[in-house]
Chain A
Amino acid sequence: MRKAFAVKDQAVLDAAELVLAEIKSIGADEGETWVSHNILTELYYELGKISMVRTVFSDKVNVKLLKDKRKGTVSLNSFDPLDIKQAVADAWQAAQSAAPDEAEGIAELQENLSFSSGEEKPDLDRMYQQLTDLLADAKQDFPKISFDSIGVEHNYSEKVYANTNGVRLSDAQGVYQLSNMFMAKDGEKSSSFNYFGTVYSDPSERVIETERVRRILDDTQQQIVTEQIDGSFVGDLVIMPGCLENMLWFVGDTYLQDGAMISGTSPWKNKLGEKVASPLVSFSLVAEHPELAMENYLSGDGYVAENMPLIEDGVLKNFSLSRYGAAKTGLERSANSGGTFVFDKGATPLEELIAGVEKGILLGRFSGGAPSPAGDLSGVAKNSFLIENGKVTKPLSEVMIAGNLGDMLHDTVAVSQERENSGYWLLPWVRVKNVTISGK
C-alpha cells in the first residue's frame, strides 16, 4: 500500500532525524541515512526434527555524509543517541581522509511516501502447522526425499530513508519465507543437494500443493542414480526457471550494474538501444507485480523504485545503475537497481521446447563461479537430465558446461509458455544452443 509519509514506529523516524541533525551540526554539506527496526521469527527443522525456534530483534542505522564531495559511511545497530553521535563523528573522520568525487551526492527532493504490506506479527502456530504439513505431505508423496534443513521465517521490517534534501521514505513489510536444502535417498545412494525458496504472504497455504515444489521434489527423486556422459559435444541447454534466475544475476553483474559499468569492463557499455540478445528475450526488474509476494518499493539510494525493462525483444533498454553509477558513467539513473526478475513468457509449450532438442541438457542448477568480465562461464550441471532426440532420457552427474553469457543470450532459440513463481521471481524455461557440454 502506498500513502503519504507516516511511520508506524516513531523510534525509527526519531533515530533517522537524529542522524540528520548530527550530520548538519558537524558541518557536512549533505547526508543521508537508512534506519530500520527488524524482527525475525524462525522455526527451524534439521536432521529429522523441528529443532529450534529463533527470535532476532535488530535495529540498524546506516549513515552517509559528504563534505566537499568527500564521502564517509558508517553502519551501527543501535538507536542510542550517544552511539549515533559517535557514528556520525566516525563518518566525518572518514570523509576527511577521502578523495573528493564529483559523482557523489544524495537523492533529490521528491514526494515523501510510505509503503506497507504483509503481516506485522508472525503467527507461530500457523508456521508450525505449515512446516509439519510439508514434512508429512513430502513423506507421503515423495518418500525418498530427505530434508537436511527447512527454515520457515517471518520477517518484519520497518525502514526509513531520510536525507538532508528533505526526502523521507518508509517501507513497513512483513513477509513469510520458506527455505530448505534436501536430497533424495535410497539406501546408501543419494542425489545431489537441491532446494527451493519461496516467499509468500499466507502461511496457511500448503507448500506441497505448489506445482513448482512438486516438480522439484519429483525431479530430485529421479536423480538418485545418475549417469555420466563420455567425451564432449556442443549442444543445447534447456535452463529451468530457478537456474535461469542464477544466470540473470550473472547478466546483471557482468553487463548492467555499477561495477562493470564504472570499471568499463561491461561488454555492453556502449550498446544501449542495440540488439544484445535473441528477439525472444525480454526481461525486467520489478518493484511490484500482481503475481509476486516480494515487493521492492525503495531503491538503495533513496528513490521510489519502478518496474523497468532491461532487455525487450532482444534490445538493451536500460542498465541497472544507481545514482552514483549513473553520475560516474554519464548515463541516466535507473528506475530499478534491485534483483526481482520477471522474464516474459514465450510462445513455445515446454514439451515442444524440449522436443526440439537433438542433444543437450535440461539444466536444473548451475554450480560454478561468477563469469569472467567477458561473460565466459563454466561449471557443473547439477540436478540435471540428458535430453536426446527430443526426450529427457537420464539424470546426470559429473557433467560440465562452458559458454559465454552474451553468446547464450544471442543463441536463445525458444522460451516456454509456462513460467514458475517463487514469490520473488517469475521465470520460464529457456532453450539455448551452442554450449560446450563435457563428461569424463
Chain B
Amino acid sequence: MLQDHLYDYVKKHGFSGYTELRAQQNRNRAVSMLNGSLVSNSSGVSRGVSARVVKGGAYGFASATGYGADVETIAQIVQAASQNASFLDRHVQRGQPDFAPVQPFSRTDGLEHDQPVEQSYLLALADELDSYIAERFPKLLSRRVFARVLDMEKLLYTSDGVVSHSFVPRSNVYIFMTTQDQEGQPVELYKVLGGYGNFLENFKNAEDYFEKLEKQYELLMQKAEGVYAKPGVRTVILDSDLAGILAHEAVGHTVEADFVQTGSVGGPMFGKQVASEKVSLVDIAHTAFGELAPVPVFVDDEGTPAQDQMVIENGILTGYMHNKESARKFGHKANGNARAYEFSDEPLIRMRNTCILPGTEKLEDMIASVEDGYLMTDMNNGQADSTGEFMFGVPLGFEIKNGKLGRAIKDTTVSGVAFEVLKTADMVSDKVTWTNSGMCGKKQMIPVGMGGPAIKVKINVGGRA
C-alpha cells in the first residue's frame, strides 16, 4: 500500500493556489497460456506522483517516478507544474478565477481489498483451466487462457482540503477458443470471467468455471456451423451485455461535456427526446441496485465527491458528464467524472459505470415478438462518433425466425446513430448484467463498467450480401 508522504509535503509546504497532488500506484500481473505454452508471465508496478496547478485558467502538470519519503522531490514536481502553469498563463492570459472550493473532507475506499496475490496463484489457475480445455474439447484448433490483474491505488490531496485514498482492484480471466468451420477457416469465441475484486476473491477455484467453459465450447461449435448475417437495418435484440456497450459508445461519449463543447450531437439535444420513453440511462458513480458497481469511484481525481449522473430519463436527455471546468461553464453540478489512468496522466472527463436501467419485459417474450431478426449475445470492441454514429463488434448472435431462435451467426458488426436507434427501443428486459473488463480509450485508457438489460431495436447489421 502507498505510504502517505503527501501529508508530510502538505504539512511542510502547504499549497499556493489551486493544486491537485496525487500519488498513484498501478499494480498489474499477467499470465498468458497459448496452446499450453506460457507465452507471458509478468508483473509490474507503475508508481509515481503528479501535481496539477491552475493559474488564471491555465493548467500546468508535472509528474515523475520515484514516489518516496523525500518531501523535496515532491516539492520539485509541484514547482515544475507551477512553472508550466505560469508559462502558459503568461502566453494566454485567460484571467479566469479559481474553481469554487468544495467542502474539505477525508475518506478512504476499498483499501481492505489490497491483498497481493502471488504470481504462482495465477499460473496454477491458468494451468488448471487450460488443462481442462485441452482434455475436454478435442476439436479446438487453438486455445488461450489469459489471466490479468490491475489494482489501482490513488492518494489525492487538493488545495481545497480534500484527502482521498482509494484502492480499486480488478481481476479477469479471458478464455479464447478457436475451431475450424466446414471450409477449414478458423472460428473464434472468447469469454471474460471475473471483474471487480482481487484475484483471490474472484477466482477461488478453477472448477467453479468449468460449466462456463462447457457452455462456451458448445456455443463455439454452433458458431462454426453458423452463417453470415444479412446486411441492412434489421430488428435486433441486443442482449444485456450489448446494451452496456450501447450505453457507453452510442450515448455516453456524446454526452461527455468536452465532446459536447466541441460539437457532438449531444449538445443541441439537451432537454429533448432522444430515446423511446422506455429508455433511461445513468452513469453510476459507485453503487447500483444495492451492490458495488464494476468500477466504483467515490472521489474523482479533481477531488469532487462522486455521485450518479443521470443522462437520459424516460427518453429525455437530462444531463452531461463534467469535470470542474465544464460544470462551471454549463452551470451544472460536477458529479465526479474527472479521472486519470496513470500517475502521469491528467484527469479527463470519463465515464464510470454507464448503464441503461431495466424495464419490465422478459427476454423470452422479446424473442417471441420478432418475426425476422437477430439476437446478438456477445460483443467485443466499440467506437463512437461526434455525430452519434457508433459501431461495435458482435462475435456471436443467432437468427430469430417467427419468434424462435435459429442458426448462430458469425462475426459481424452493428452500427447506427445513437438517438435514432434508441427511439426504436420498444422492449426492455427486466434483468441488468454488467461487463466489467472494459477499457475505454480517450487520450488515456481507463477502466469502465458497462451495464444494461436486453433491448429490442432496429439497427444496421454489417453482414454479407
Chain A residues engaging chain B, CB cutoff 8 angstroms: 40, 46-60, 71-80, 90, 93-99, 101, 103, 124, 128, 146-149, 151, 183, 185, 188, 190-193, 231-234, 258-259, 262-265, 267, 324, 328, 367-370, 372-374, 376, 378-380, 382, 397-398, 400-402, 436, 438-440
CB contact under 8 A between A367 and B178, given known A148-B259, A149-B443, A373-B188: no
Question: Within the assembled complex, what's the spacing in Å between the Cα atoms of A337 and B261?
Answer: 41
Question: Within the assembled complex, what's the spacing in Å between the Cα atoms of A48 and B232?
Answer: 39
* Residues on A with beta carbons closer than 8 Å to the beta carbon of B85: 53
Question: Within the assembled complex, what's the spacing in Å between the Cα atoms of A262 and B65?
Answer: 36
* Residues on A with beta carbons closer than 8 Å to the beta carbon of B87: 53, 124
* Residues on B with beta carbons closer than 8 Å to the beta carbon of A191: 386-387
Chain B residues engaging chain A, CB cutoff 8 angstroms: 34-35, 37-48, 57-66, 80-81, 84-85, 87-88, 91-92, 94, 118-120, 123-124, 127, 141-142, 144, 178, 185-188, 231-233, 258-259, 261-265, 267-268, 344, 346, 380-381, 383, 385-387, 389, 391-393, 395, 410-413, 415-417, 443, 460-465
Question: Within the assembled complex, what's the spacing in Å between the Cα atoms of A439 and B463?
Answer: 11
Cross-chain contact A54 with B413 (CB below 8 angstroms): no
Cross-chain contact B84 with A54 (CB below 8 angstroms): yes
* Residues on B with beta carbons closer than 8 Å to the beta carbon of A94: 41-43, 119-120, 123
Q: Which of B346, B415, B463 has the most CB of A within 10 A?
A: B415
Q: In the assembled complex, how far is the CB of residue B128 from the closest CB belonging to chain A, in whole angstroms?
A: 12
Cross-chain contact A97 with B119 (CB below 8 angstroms): yes
Q: In the assembled complex, how far is the CB of residue A333 from the closest CB belonging to chain B, in whole angstroms?
A: 16
Q: In the assembled complex, how far is the CB of residue B186 from the closest CB belonging to chain A, in whole angstroms?
A: 4
Q: In the assembled complex, how far is the CB of residue B222 from the closest CB belonging to chain A, in whole angstroms?
A: 15
Q: In the assembled complex, how far is the CB of residue B5 from the closest CB belonging to chain A, in whole angstroms?
A: 14
Q: From B80, which residue of chain A is reached at the shortest CB distance?
A: A55
Q: Give 13 new A-B contacts, CB below 8 A, not counting A54-B346, A373-B186.
A: A50-B88, A54-B60, A55-B80, A101-B37, A188-B268, A190-B263, A232-B232, A265-B178, A265-B188, A369-B381, A369-B411, A382-B385, A402-B412
* Residues on B with beta carbons closer than 8 Å to the beta carbon of A439: 232
Cross-chain contact B44 with A74 (CB below 8 angstroms): yes
Q: In the assembled complex, how far is the CB of residue B226 from the closest CB belonging to chain A, in whole angstroms?
A: 12
Question: Within the assembled complex, what's the spacing in Å between the Cα atoms of A48 and B46?
Answer: 33
Cross-chain contact B66 with A59 (CB below 8 angstroms): yes
Cross-chain contact A97 with B120 (CB below 8 angstroms): yes
Q: From B91, which residue of chain A is reached at the shortest CB distance?
A: A128
CB contact under 8 A between A374 and B380, given known A52-B61, A52-B88, A191-B387: no
Cross-chain contact B61 with A53 (CB below 8 angstroms): yes
Cross-chain contact B66 with A263 (CB below 8 angstroms): no
Cross-chain contact B48 with A77 (CB below 8 angstroms): yes
Cross-chain contact A146 with B262 (CB below 8 angstroms): yes
Cross-chain contact A50 with B413 (CB below 8 angstroms): no
Cross-chain contact B118 with A58 (CB below 8 angstroms): no
Cross-chain contact A185 with B38 (CB below 8 angstroms): no
Cross-chain contact A98 with B42 (CB below 8 angstroms): no
Cross-chain contact A267 with B460 (CB below 8 angstroms): no
Cross-chain contact A56 with B43 (CB below 8 angstroms): no
Question: Within the assembled complex, what's the spacing in Å between the Cα atoms of A96 and B417?
Answer: 52
* Residues on A with beta carbons closer than 8 Å to the beta carbon of B464: 402, 436
Cross-chain contact B44 with A55 (CB below 8 angstroms): no
Cross-chain contact A47 with B262 (CB below 8 angstroms): yes
Q: In the assembled complex, how far is the CB of residue B32 from the closest CB belonging to chain A, in whole angstroms?
A: 10
Candidates B178, B264, B381; contact of A190 at CB < 8 Å: B264
Cross-chain contact B465 with A74 (CB below 8 angstroms): no
Cross-chain contact A71 with B463 (CB below 8 angstroms): no
* Residues on A with beta carbons closer than 8 Å to the beta carbon of B62: 54-57
10 tightest A-B CB contacts, nearest first: A369-B393, A75-B44, A97-B120, A438-B231, A373-B186, A53-B84, A400-B462, A378-B462, A263-B142, A52-B59
CB contact under 8 A between A78 and B417, given known A146-B262, A379-B462: no
Cross-chain contact B120 with A183 (CB below 8 angstroms): no
Cross-chain contact A397 with B387 (CB below 8 angstroms): yes
Q: In the assembled complex, how far is the CB of residue A424 from the closest CB belonging to chain B, in whole angstroms?
A: 18
Cross-chain contact A267 with B186 (CB below 8 angstroms): yes
Q: Which of B48, B261, B386 has the most CB of A within 10 A?
A: B386
Cross-chain contact B231 with A374 (CB below 8 angstroms): no
Q: From A52, which residue of chain B is reached at the shortest CB distance?
A: B59
Q: Which of A47, A52, A53, A264 has the most CB of B within 10 A?
A: A53
Cross-chain contact B381 with A370 (CB below 8 angstroms): yes
Cross-chain contact B45 with A75 (CB below 8 angstroms): yes
* Residues on B with beta carbons closer than 8 Å to the beta carbon of A77: 45-48, 65-66
Cross-chain contact B465 with A438 (CB below 8 angstroms): yes
Cross-chain contact B38 with A101 (CB below 8 angstroms): yes
Cross-chain contact A398 with B389 (CB below 8 angstroms): yes
CB contact under 8 A between A436 and B465, given known A53-B60, A78-B65, A402-B231: yes
Cross-chain contact A231 with B232 (CB below 8 angstroms): yes
Cross-chain contact A262 with B385 (CB below 8 angstroms): no
Cross-chain contact A76 with B44 (CB below 8 angstroms): yes
* Residues on B with beta carbons closer than 8 Å to the beta carbon of A402: 231, 412-413, 462-464
Q: In the assembled complex, how far is the CB of residue B215 from the closest CB belonging to chain A, in whole angstroms?
A: 20
Candidates A52, A58, A103, A382; contact of B60 at CB < 8 Å: A52
Q: In the assembled complex, how far is the CB of residue B36 from the closest CB belonging to chain A, in whole angstroms?
A: 8
Q: Which of B142, B380, B462 has the most CB of A within 10 A?
A: B462
Question: Within the assembled complex, what's the spacing in Å between the Cα atoms of A96 and B393?
Answer: 39
CB contact under 8 A between A52 and B41, given known A77-B65, A265-B178: no
Question: Within the assembled complex, what's the spacing in Å between the Cα atoms of A211 and B386?
Answer: 25
Cross-chain contact A90 with B38 (CB below 8 angstroms): no
Question: Within the assembled complex, what's the spacing in Å between the Cα atoms of A90 and B258?
Answer: 42
* Residues on A with beta carbons closer than 8 Å to the beta carbon of B84: 52-55
Cross-chain contact A58 with B187 (CB below 8 angstroms): no
Candidates A57, A78, A97; contact of B124 at CB < 8 Å: A97
Question: Within the assembled complex, what's the spacing in Å between the Cα atoms of A374 and B141?
Answer: 12
Cross-chain contact B35 with A398 (CB below 8 angstroms): no
Cross-chain contact B344 with A374 (CB below 8 angstroms): no
Cross-chain contact B381 with A99 (CB below 8 angstroms): no
Q: In the assembled complex, how far is the CB of residue B45 from the closest CB belonging to chain A, in whole angstroms?
A: 5
* Residues on B with beta carbons closer than 8 Å to the beta carbon of A76: 44-45
Cross-chain contact B411 with A400 (CB below 8 angstroms): no
Q: In the assembled complex, how far is the CB of residue B384 from the closest CB belonging to chain A, in whole angstroms?
A: 9
Candidates A59, A146, A378, A440; contact of B413 at CB < 8 Å: A378
Question: Within the assembled complex, what's the spacing in Å between the Cα atoms of A146 and B261?
Answer: 10
Cross-chain contact B119 with A93 (CB below 8 angstroms): yes
Question: Within the assembled complex, what's the spacing in Å between the Cα atoms of A147 and B261?
Answer: 10
